[in-house]
Amino acid sequence: MDIDINDKEFGLFQRLIYNESGINLTSAKKELLKSRLTKRLRERSLISFKEYYQYITEKDTTGEELVSLLDCISTNLTEFFRESVHFDFLSEKVLPDLFENKRKIREKKIRIWCAGCSTGEEPYSISMMLSECPVHLSEWDIKILATDLSTRVLKKATQGIYAKDRLKGIPLQMLNTYFKKGVHNLKDCYQIKDSLKNMIVFRRLNLTDEIFPFKGQFDFIFCRNVMIYFDKQTQTKLVSKFYKHLALDGYLFIGHSESLAGTETRFRYVRPTIYQK
């Protein structure tokens, strides 16, 4: 039997999702919400979306169902070296300058934040770019913090196992250097090698949290194709937090269809979708 969702119920979920994640679901997403959540209602023998809402907000004291709800509604599309202009700019400008400037001040620490990292292709692409730099990485203390709201995608990211058809954007030389071919039931997959994995720390972090748990500042931040789901107010707040958590001259990379135009910010425009503190 089909479980319908009426406008009032949809409104409850719209508000809950907005308050918990900043994701702004328009009315056009009603059917999508219904189709993604129906299975969860059935699994819990619930007969209406109102009951499911009450289950999340009143009965489930663990908070786990809320995490699952957010897992279900988030869009996690990503790929290796997505929006290649960013990776060209990294290898031609950002990384050479960063290594050079750190050397001058005798510092060996580099910190990068990949916010909204989805299933890991983005932070692994950044770690490949770092590994291609003409420096002895073993002499450097480099960490990429890769965060997402969804526990489901973080699990996949941590595993670092990808089907062959997900690897199209990776040059062959890099594929051979940084991946190992799967065997047995993983024979159609490739796994990221530990040299890249060790550079990355995956954590769950909600970008709409008031305070982020960081002490130091980042040398650059990727937050691409995430703010597109937020309204202007949430975007403005987040961008000012990125500013605060970036080192001076640090870069912010955003998605190809995003812009800081109309957002109150102190960032300097460098080129489309790239900004600097």
Q: Which residues are catalytic?
A: 36, 148
DSSP code, position 249: E
Q: How far apart are CA 138 and CA 140, in angstroms?
A: 5
> With respect to ligand SAM, which residue has the nearer C-beta, 101 or 151?
151
> With respect to ligand SAM, which residue has the nearer C-beta, 148 or 219?
148
Measured in residues, the chain has a length of 277
What is the chain's alpha carbon radius of gyration, rounded to the nearest angstrom? 20
Residues that bind ligand SAM (CB under 6 A): 21-23, 74-78, 82, 116, 118, 122, 148-150, 153, 206-208, 224-226, 229, 255
**Closest CB 269 distance from ligand SAM, rounded Å:** 20
> With respect to ligand SAM, which residue has the nearer C-beta, 54 or 208?
208
How far is the first Cα of the chain from the last one, in angstroms, to the nearest whole number?
55
> With respect to ligand SAM, which residue has the nearer C-beta, 83 or 219?
83
Q: H or E segment at 18?
A: helix 7-21
Q: H or E segment at 8?
A: helix 7-21
**Closest CB 229 distance from ligand SAM, rounded Å:** 6
Amino acid at 73: I
**Closest CB 48 distance from ligand SAM, rounded Å:** 27
Give yes or no for a contact between 129 and 91, defined as CB atoms under 8 angstroms apart: yes
Give yes or no for a contact between 78 and 226, defined as CB atoms under 8 angstroms apart: no
> With respect to ligand SAM, which residue has the nearer C-beta, 124 or 178?
124
**Closest CB 4 distance from ligand SAM, rounded Å:** 27
Q: How far apart are CA 237 and CA 271, in angstroms?
A: 22
Give yes or no for a contact between 99 and 65, defined as CB atoms under 8 angstroms apart: no
Backbone phi and psi for residue 81, each to the nearest 5 degrees, phi listed first: 50, 35
Q: What Å distances lie between residue 125 and 6, 91, 238, CA to CA? A: 43, 12, 24
**Closest CB 141 distance from ligand SAM, rounded Å:** 25
